[in-house]
Amino acid sequence: MGWELYVLKAVAVLLIFGGVLSVVPFLVFFERKISAFIQDRVGPNRVGLAGPDSLLEAFGFRKGTRRVLGGWLQPLADVIKLFTKEALIPAHADRPLYLLAPLFAVLPPLLAFVVIPVGQDIVVSSGVLVKLQVADLHVGILFVLAVASLSAYGLAFGGWASNSKFPLLGGVRAMAQMVSYEVGMVLVILALVMSYDSVSLRDMVSRQAAGGTLLGIWDCDGDWIWGWGLFHQPLAFVLFAICALAENNRLPFDLPECESELVGGYHTEYSSMGFGMFFQGEYIAMMAMGGLLATMFLGGWHYPGYAWLNASDSLLVHLLAALIGLAVFGVKMLGFVFFAMWVRWTLPRFRWDQLMRVGWKGIIPLALANLVLTAALNLPAPAPAHEKPDRNLTAVTRDR
Amino acid sequence: MATLIFWLVVLVTVASAIAVVTARNILHAAFSLCLTFLGVAATYIFLHADFVAAVQLIVYVGGILVLIMFAIMFSSNVVEDTAEGRRGLLALGAGAAGMAAVFAAVLLLTSRLAEPLKTANPCANVAYAATVSVEAGQTGIGHCLMGPYLLPFEVVSVLLLAALIGAVVIVRKEVR
C-alpha cells in the first residue's frame, strides 16, 4: 500500500464530509421555509441577493427594490452568527466532556456516509476504476449501526457535562430512546439482510436492480422500480422510516430536546458552535438516515433507464448515467429529509410513556413479525429466476 | 503509514484504558471506556476481523456502556470518587492486570498463534490476517454458530434469558 492510496482516500473523505457539511445550512433554511409554508407564514425572506442594488439592500443600505431570491442568503447569515457568537462555558460544567460532547454528535453521522455508496464504479479506462463510495466495507450495514450507536453519547455526555437539570434529563432520555429504538431498527434491518442475502450496502443496491420475481409470484423488470426494497419489504420500509425519525431525535420523537418541557434539552447550556455542532449533527444524521433509506429501500442511485444508458460503450454516456444517478440518490435522500420536516411540523410530540410504548409494544413486535415472516416464507429480493447472484463476481459485472 | 496508524490506535487504546481505572470522576471513566472500546474495535480492523469490530461496537458501545451510563446518571452521588483505600485497590488491580499480562504473554509465546508476532514487524500479523478472506470469516462465523457450536450458542442464550428474568424479578415490586 502506497501513500497514494491514503491521499486518495483522504481526498474522498474530505469531499464527502465537505459536501455533506455544506448542505446542512441550506437544510436549516429549507426547514424554516417548509415550517413557514405548513403554518401559513412567509418564513425567512430578507437576506437575499439580486444584483448590486440588492447587495446594498441586503446590508440595509437601500429599501424598496424588488427582492429576488429573498432569504436565500439566510443560511450564510446563520453560519456567520453561529461562528462569531461568544462560546460560553457554564462555570459548573465539566469542561473536557462539555467541549468533547458536540464532537460526538457530529462525527458518527458523518462516518456513516463513508460506507453509503452514491454510485456504481466508473471504468475510466481499462484497469482504472473510480468508486463512488469511500469504503466498500464487507460489514457495510453493521458499520452504520455501530456508528449510529455512538451518536447518543454526544447528547448524553453533553447533557451530563452541562451540570444542570434540564440537559441531564435530555441526556438520559436520549440514551433510553436510543436503546429502545435501536432494537427495532436492528430487527428491521435483519429482515432486509436476509432478503438481500448480504450485509454490504453495495450488494443491496445492485440486488435491487437485478430484476426477477417479486414476492415469489410476480415477474418484474429490474430496470424499472419494482425491484426496490420498498416493494418486497413494505412493512420494513414503514418501520425503518419511523425508527429513523426516532434515532434522529426528530419530532414526534424529540424527547431529548423537547423545548416545551426541558427548555432546550441536552443543548440548553450550549451556545455558539457548541450548539451549532449539535444542530449540524441532527441534520447530518437525518441525511445519513435518508441515505440509508435510499440505499436499502429505494434502489440507491438506480432510476428507470439507468441500465439502458449504461449499456452504451461511450465513457461520456457512462459518466452522464452516473451523474444522473448521483442526483437521483440526492433526491431520494433529501426526500426523506423533507418527509422528516413535514412530519415535524405536522405531528405533536409523544409523551414519554407513549414513546416507550410505541417502541417496545409497537415497533419491536411488528419488526419481529416481519423478520419471522421473511424467514418463514424465505422471500428473497427479486433475483433472476433460479439463479443466485454469484458472490465472487465484482460489483461492476453484477451491476451490468 | 499503516504502522503509524496502528501505533496511534494502540496509544489511544492503552492510554484511555489507563484513564478508565485512574479517573477520579466516574463519568470521565465511562467516556474513557468508550474510547477504549473504539480502540479495541480499531485493533480488530487491523486484524482484518471487520465483523468482530462492528459487533464489538454494537454490543459494547451501543449496549453495555449505555447501561453503565444509565446507572451512573440515575444515581447522582456516585459521580465523585470518595473511595478510601483507593491506593490499595489500584495496587490490587495492577497486580491482577500484571498477572493476566504474564499469562497472556506465556500463552502467546508458546502457542503457534504467536508465529506472526515473533517477527520484527508488529504489523506482520496484519499481513498474516490478510491471507484470510474477510467475507469467509463472516460467513464462517455464521456457519460455526449454526453448525458445530449450535448447542453452546443456544445454551448461552438460555443463560442470558435466565439473567434477564432474574433482573426483572429483582426489580419488580411485590404485587399482591
Tell me: pLDDT of B122 over 80: no
* C-beta atoms of A149 and B61 within 8 A: yes
Which residue reads 463510495 in cell numbers?
Answer: A133
Instruction: Report yes or no: B40 at the A interface, CB cutoff 8 Å.
Output: no
**DSSP track, B4-54:** HHHHHHHHHHHHHHHHHHH-SBHHHHHHHHHHHHHHHHHHHHHTT-HHHHH
Query: Taking a C-beta distance cutoff of 8 angstroms, is the pair B14, B22 a contact?
Result: no
User: What integer best gives the mean pLDDT of chain A?
Assistant: 78
Task: Give SS3 for A163.
Answer: coil
State the first-to-last Cα distance of chain A, in angstroms, to the nearest integer.
29
Query: Taking a C-beta distance cutoff of 8 angstroms, is the pair A223, A208 a contact?
Result: no
pLDDT in tens, A375-394: 877 655 555 444 444 443 33
pLDDT at A4: 73
In Å, how far are A230, A239, A328, A373, A389 from A226, measured between CA atoms?
8, 20, 16, 20, 18
In Å, how far are A287, A294, B106 from A335, measured between CA atoms?
9, 9, 58
| Grid cell digits, residue A226 | 419494482
Contacts 24+ apart (CB under 8 A), A64-70: A70/A45, A70/A46
Instruction: Report yes or no: B47 at the A interface, CB cutoff 8 Å.
Output: no
Q: Where along chain B do its domains lie?
A: 1-75
ipTM higher than the 0.90 cut: no
Which fold does the domain B1-75 belong to in CATH? Four Helix Bundle (Hemerythrin (Met), subunit A) (1.20.120)
| Grid cell digits, residue B34 | 468508550
pLDDT in tens, A60-75: 665 555 555 667 778 8
Residues of B in contact with A153 (CB under 8 A): 34, 61, 69
As a whole number, mean pLDDT of residues A69-97 equals: 80
Query: Taking a C-beta distance cutoff of 8 angstroms, is the pair A290, A109 a contact?
Result: no
pLDDT at B128: 46
Number of H helices, E strands in chain A: 16, 4
Tell me: pLDDT of A367 over 70: yes
pLDDT at A48: 67
- Which of the residue ranges A2-6, A30-34, A354-358, B96-100 would you say has the lowest mean pLDDT? A2-6
With residues binned 3-state (H G I as helix, E B as strand, rest as coil), the percentages for chain B, rounded to 5, are: 80, 0, 15
What residue ranges in chain A does DSSP mark as E strands?
A: 122-125, 128-130, 212-214, 218-220
Strand partners, A214: A218
Chain B nearest-CA residue for A182? B62
CA distance B126 to chain A (A): 12
Query: Taking a C-beta distance cutoff of 8 angstroms, is the pair A295, A183 a contact?
Result: no
% of chain B at pLDDT higher than 90: 3
Chain A nearest-CA residue for B5? A6
Any idea of the CA torsion for B167, B169, B173, B174, to the nearest 10 degrees?
A: -160
Residue A133 binned pLDDT confidence (cut-offs 50, 70, 90): confident
What residue ranges in A76-143 does DSSP mark as E strands?
A: 122-125, 128-130
Tell me: pLDDT of A251 over 50: yes
Q: Across the A/B interface, how many CB contacts are shorter than 8 Å?
A: 80
* C-beta atoms of B69 and A100 within 8 A: no
Nearest to B54 among A146, A156, A182 (CB): A146
pLDDT at B129: 47
Instruction: Report yes or no: B50 at the A interface, CB cutoff 8 Å.
Output: yes
Residue A126 binned pLDDT confidence (cut-offs 50, 70, 90): low
